[in-house]
Amino acid sequence: MNTPNTPTQPAPATEDLPQTGTVSTVSSETGNSMQDFYRLQQELLVYTLAFTGIIFISVWIFYSLNIALNYLLGAIAGVVYLKMLARDVERIGSQNQKISKTRLGLLIGLMIVAARLDQLQILPIFLGFLTYKISLMIYVLRSALAPDYR
């Protein structure tokens, strides 16, 4: 008679190792995807800030400081929008499935303030807000043309 501790008998179903390995694999895949997300978030933020600085200086040189400051105000709102968007995407990855609807209110509020004040100009602010889109386009083009970049 074989005892349960002999090596010839299979392990009981409650001690099934592949299931625990699967759980750790799923959690490590989730961790890796979140690390990729945080890396992407950081990369987009750095690109957006770099483009903001380059464009701000260029507008200041070729136009005026007032227009450049209007552009900078819009670009700062764009960076805040990008951070809010990243926070909402991060929430989707976790247990909370609800997405905030206040992001668009940021742009609408900024445009209303710009329309009310004579010192602010709508077009430079709006174009500054869209600066983060340049970073997104660069990332998409790089991903499409060189998928093995990372």
Q: What is the pLDDT of residues 32-87, one digit of tens each?
A: 777 888 898 899 999 999 999 999 999 999 999 999 999 999 999 999 999 988 88
Instruction: Summarize the confidence of residues 3-20 as an average pLDDT.
Output: 48
> What residue spans of 63-102 are helical by DSSP H?
65-93
Question: What is the pTM (predicted TM-score) of this model?
Answer: 0.72
In which band, very low, low, confident or very high, does the pLDDT at 14 lie, cut at 50, 70 and 90? Answer: very low
Tokens 């209110």 found at = 105
pLDDT at 89: 81
Domain limits for position 40: 33-62
Alpha-helix residue ranges (DSSP H) falling in the chain: 17-62, 65-93, 103-116, 122-129, 131-145
Answer whether residue 117 is part of any domain: no
CA atoms within 13 A on the CB side of 1: 2
Rounded to whole angstroms, how far apart are CA atoms 78 and 129?
A: 4
**Among residues of the chain, what percentage have pLDDT more than 90?**
41
pLDDT of 99? 67
| Residue at 137 is within a domain | no
Total domains, the chain: 1
More confident residue, 99 or 108: 108
Of 136, 125, 137, nearest in space to 75 by CA: 125
